[in-house]
Amino acid sequence: MTNHKTLVAAIEQRWPVDAAETWDRAGLIVGSDEQQIQKVMLTVDVTSDVVGEAIAASADLILAHHPVLLRQSPSIAADVAKSKTFAAAIDAGVAIYAAHTNADITATGVSATLARAAGLTNLEPLVPVTQTTGHGRMGRLAEPKTLLEFARGLAAVLPSTASGVRVAGDPNQLISTVALCAGAGDSFIAEALASGADLYLTSDLRHHPVQEALESAAASSKPFAMVDISHWAAEWLWLETARDELAAEFPQVTFVVSDLRTDPWDFVVTQ
């Protein structure tokens, strides 16, 4: 068991809130500095089911990647669903903390974790903030793989989702260098193209940006592929990294990763 204030101070030393993007809402969402923390549950999203799981597991703190009110008003007065979720957490004495874009950019952060899981080495930021921090990652495979081999390997290390791994490109194209951004990364497509990478891996890709990127690469006679994976799956891998780092610093606290799949898609239908 440790004091909430002590744990939050350690979290913010590892993932400084002032390193988050200006539009982000990282930091403490629910909780008191005086609260004692014995068990922490890590999750990508905070949903009513996640809060229910945390309560059932007697967790004192939910450490989430996504802020709960990122796309809503800062007030929960008009948001019935979020209000009930917060009320359940408050009534049970469960604190909620989010490490979002400030956890994306570190050397062991969300994108770096995905890069290592994908088999990449010699990692460096795709969009540097400092020499070692920044959005996305660039890296090399130990040995070239075909695009199909790379995609199959990626599917094997990611948690299963309905949408799986979507691939745009020649399945026989050889892949040596990969640019990626865990989570929604279509804003970095231009950087991925300019990097000279053989492939860009991210989530939430849309029709027109992908089509335009592929057309741009073809016009330059540069083989280029794009891989789209579940936003939740891309970021879930980091939870285990964060758990291990915090557990090493706070052996008196129990850290667990939520088993709930918060990816919103349940199934796909094909002809």
Task: Give the position of tokens 């994976």.
Answer: 229
pLDDT at position 3 is 85
Spans of the chain below 50 pLDDT: none
Q: Which amino acid does the sequence have at 225?
A: A
Neighbour-count burial of 62, counting CB atoms closer than 10 A to its CB (0-12 exposed, 13-18 middle, 19+ buried): buried
Which tens digit of pLDDT belongs to each residue from 51-94?
999 999 999 999 999 998 776 555 666 567 788 899 999 999 99
- Residue ranges and CATH numbers for the domains of the chain are 2-103 (3.40.1390.30), 107-230 (3.40.1390.30)
pTM: 0.94
- Closest-CA residue to 61 (of 256, 270, 269): 256
